[in-house]
Amino acid sequence: MKVLVTGVKGQLGHDVVNELTKRNHEAIGVDIEEMDITDYSSVESGIKKANPDAVIHCAAWTAVDAAEDVDNQEKVHLVNATGTKHIATLCKELDIKLMYLSTDYVFDGQGTEPWQPDCKDYNPLNVYGKSKLEGELAVAELLKKYFIVRIAWVFGNNGNNFIKTMLKIGKSHDTLTVVSDQIGTPTYTYDLARLLVDMIETDKYGNYHATNEGGFISWYDFAKEIFHQAAALGFSEYSEERLTVSPVTTAEYGISKAARPYNSRLDKSKLIDQGFTPLPTWKDALNRYLTEIL
């Protein structure tokens, strides 16, 4: 199978291309230099030249706070909404199946119940979430052969993420405060890439949620486990004796430019119902990741 992957320079796109190649699929990774998704003619020539059997659309504007800046909002919309519509339009014309990577941010994060993949109670809190939802709606409106896969709390080798930030700050501070009232589950791009390729090899289309297993946690819980595992690997600067991590509420931490959802719990049971293998636990994923980057 020949698969075009957008956003190859990002954490997820990089791992998806590697996974496709590992399975002897022909992977064509593109980024803005090869195919500017905000430009319809660029998308048209890029997809027609590649002539793929499927597109996995990972490219996105993901700088959530920067998206709130007035000067950036039009560009965010162009990338996440218009760009996705361009790709979906070409996939419809050429009868190519499309996988679109979306986010828990399409919901408002209220309550404590996990969000169902086919829930239509969208109410994004910020510019990023609104733009990703527009992308979702364009895909669902234009295509029948599509996967919309919502993910959350992503970390991988090829880019910045919460783990790298914590490790960096933890080295230079002896006390940290981390938000404890935003709840979700981390997602390791290496594990996610395996699942996405499993999915694209089928025609089990629809909306899905995908994160690592192991239950729901707060960012505070995640930070504590990052430092615990890093110390266990021999990095004493992250030990409890040297580094104190305290929980705070979102309100206490201070207002960021973009409002964050409190409830990022995603129900993943549809994956099992459709016969897909769930991701490993987030603690296992964290251990493998730290072993690789430390």
> What is the set of active-site residues?
128
Fill in the DSSP letter of residue 280.
P
3-class secondary-structure state, position 258: coil
Burial code (b: 16+ CB inside 10 Å, e: under 16) for 153-183 equals: bbbbbebebbbbebbeebeeeeebebbbbbb
DSSP of 106-158, one letter per residue? GS---SSSPBPTT-------SHHHHHHHHHHHHHHHH-SSEEEEEE-SEE-SS
d(CA 183, CA 172): 26
Strand ordering across the sheet containing 2-6 = 26-30, 2-6, 54-57, 97-103, 146-151, 206-209
Tokens, residue 212 = 């690592």
Fill in the DSSP letter of residue 220.
H
3-class secondary-structure state, position 79: helix
Residue whose pair of structure tokens reads 């089928």 in the numeric block: 202
137: Cβ contacts below 8 Å, ≥ 6 apart: none
Contact present, 212 and 280 (Cβ < 8 Å): yes
According to DSSP, the β-strands at 97-103 and 54-57 are parallel
Residue 249 burial (CB count, 10 A): 11
Fill in the DSSP letter of residue 237.
G
